[in-house]
Amino acid sequence: MRAGCSVRSVFERFPDLLNLQVVATGHAMDQVVALAPPPLLDADRNARINHQVEMRANLCEIWGRLWRSLLANRGDSDELRQKISKFQELRLSRMEIAFRPELEKLPNDERRQILVALALLTDVSSWQFMREFLGLSVDEARAAWVGSLQRLLPSTPPA
């Protein structure tokens, strides 16, 4: 095996594939959180957009296939659903922090709608659609995200 251990050794430690997936998911998500650079707080809007896109694109390239597998199997495990939910909440929170200057003066409903749109736009499935279905290069997909975020986010906080 690529991991340097036999299949038997794996299943001596994990009773089934789902249990192995839950533990692997926890490990992968811990790595993502630990390695993700913090949001840029004092940078201008375009720098924060570029930073967010760069971070999301890198995560999607590295973890996209695992994420798709997790979503396909989440119905089989409450623990897996909870891990996915926690990770999504963290992602929304980081976006809200990253784009606070643009969002903070908006009414709550509008702020929430923009956050939902940002989450959908920069989701792994969006990235995979651009890369696999449309055949965009990494740079082309990043440029599509940057342009979309620039159009979606207010350019200056409302007075």
Query: pLDDT (tens digit, 9 = 90+) per residue, 93-138?
Result: 889 999 999 999 899 999 999 999 999 999 988 999 999 999 999 9
* Number of residues in the chain: 159
| Residue 7: C-alpha distances to residues 2, 17, 23, 107 (Å) | 10, 11, 16, 54
Most confident of 7-16, 33-42, 139-148: 139-148
Q: What is the DSSP letter of 69?
A: H
Q: What is the pTM of this model?
A: 0.75
Residues 142, 122: Cα–Cα separation, whole Å:
10
CATH code of domain 17-152: 1.10.357
pLDDT digits (tens, 9 = 90+) for 31-54: 766 766 677 778 899 999 999 999
What three-state secondary structure class fits 111?
helix
Distance (Å, rounded) from C-alpha 107 to C-alpha 76?
38
Per residue in 15-26, pLDDT (tens digit) is 777 777 777 777
CA 13 to each of CA 8, 9, 19, 30: distance values in angstroms, whole numbers, following the listed order: 9, 7, 10, 20
DSSP 40: P
